[in-house]
Amino acid sequence: MKLQIASQLAIFAVLELTAHSGRPLSVADIGRKYGVSSHHLAKVMHVLGQAGLVRSVRGAGGGYRFSGNIRRVTLLDIVELFEKLGSDHLNAGRAHAATHEARALHQVLAEIDDIARATLGSITIATMLKLAERRAADAHQPAAARP
Amino acid sequence: MRSGNSRGPAGNAARTAAGPAFTVRPVLAADVPHVAAIDERITGIGKAAYWTDVFERYTRHRTGERFFFVAAPATNAAEQRVLGFIIGEIRTWEFGSAPCGWVFALSVDPAVRLRGVGEALFESLSDAFRTTGVTRMRTMVARDNRLHLLFFRGEGMMAGPYIQLEKDLG
């Protein structure tokens, strides 16, 4: 499954802000880690701010802070700010849309969409932080010791 | 996911800032009506006979591989006898799977949630599974059961290699 770049950047930005919750982070701080321009990130942060998930901190040492609840906000909450999951698989209006075959395909694709939504909707920011920590710990293990 | 408690699954104690201390211990016969009551409060369906049957099966047969724990208040003076419960067992070679622990039920009374009861129950069952030598635990959750999905994900569970399929026979 692919996520749009903006969705990915938004998730990365939120993870950075929550992993470093002791201080505000600037778009430059976040952009340096992920190799992304401040211009792109600023647009993402604007959308997150409109959704009440981040707030800007002005002045020297300013930037952004996460303003949601890491145990409640899920990946789905963030992704849906930037893209619509699933799509109109029937392409309503096209001639084939009314066929049994199109409806059967729609049923299969809808199943995949449901699983994707359930997965993204069941992973909170807190859970993602734990996943990232485990990845980091695994990466520091000697190769022979890794499962 | 938290590491196991060195004291083993039974008798784990926990104190939370938000509420009284509780312990996790094996279920007793006197707990069963309270387990059934919590389940009915949550599901809206009374299943007294079902819970009696589960108690009988899990306390009398294959007891080295079946675990039924409850979280109970640490003091006898507490009004509520059971705060939550968890049930699991080792299943072997079903669906082609090597022996692993299955979590079949986990419920915490809505009145005492967010106090670490679910986490303590999960940790106790994980410890019990480890004592049998299995290295993996699984569960199955309805796609729209957000509460349990969030909980199990938060405890480090990820999607496994199986897909649940079904068919209407009507």
Mean pLDDT of chain B: 88
Structural domain boundaries, residue B41: 12-154
Single pTM value for the model = 0.84
d(CA A147, CA A137): 12
Whether the Cβ atoms of residue A96 and residue A66 lie closer than 8 Å to each other = no
| Inter-chain CB proximity B150 and A74 less than 8 Å | yes
Does a structural domain hold residue B146?
yes
User: Which two tokens mark B101?
Assistant: 């622990």
User: Interior CA angle at B16 toward B14 and B20, to 5°?
Assistant: 85
Would you say residue B7 lies in a domain?
no
Of B143, B154, B156, the CB nearest to A124: B154
For chain B, the domain total comes to: 1
pLDDT at A88: 63
CA-based nearest residue in chain A for residue B151: A122
Q: What is the pLDDT of residue A141?
A: 75
Q: What digits encode the pLDDT tens for the residues A109-126?
A: 999 999 999 999 999 999
Buried-exposed string B126-140: b where 16+ CB fall within 10 A, e elsewhere: bbbbeeeebeebbbe
The CATH number of whichever domain residue A115 belongs to comes to 1.10.10.10
pLDDT top residue among A53 and A97: A53
**Which residues does chain A have within 8 Å of residue B154's beta carbon, measured at their own beta carbons?**
71, 124, 126-127, 130
What is this model's ipTM?
A: 0.80
- Structural domain harbouring A55: 5-145
More confident residue, B31 or A85: B31
B153–A123: do the CB atoms touch at under 8 Å?
Answer: yes
Hey, are the CB atoms on B153 and A121 less than 8 Å from each other? no
- What pLDDT does residue A113 have? 92
pLDDT in tens, A71-109: 999 999 999 999 998 766 556 556 666 789 998 999 999
As a whole number of Å, the CA-based R_g of chain A is: 19
Q: Is B30 part of any domain?
A: yes
| DSSP-assigned beta bridge partners for residue B106 | B86
pLDDT in tens, B111-151: 999 999 999 999 999 999 999 999 999 999 999 999 999 99
Contacts of A61 (CB under 8 A, 6+ apart): A23, A24
pLDDT of residue A62: 85
Res A51 pLDDT > 90: yes
> What total number of domains does chain A contain?
1
Judging contacts by C-beta atoms under 8 Å, the chain A residues touching residue B150 are 74, 122, 124, 127
Q: What is the mean pLDDT of chain A?
A: 89
What CATH number does residue B88 fall under? 3.40.630.30
Looking at residue B19, its pLDDT comes to 55
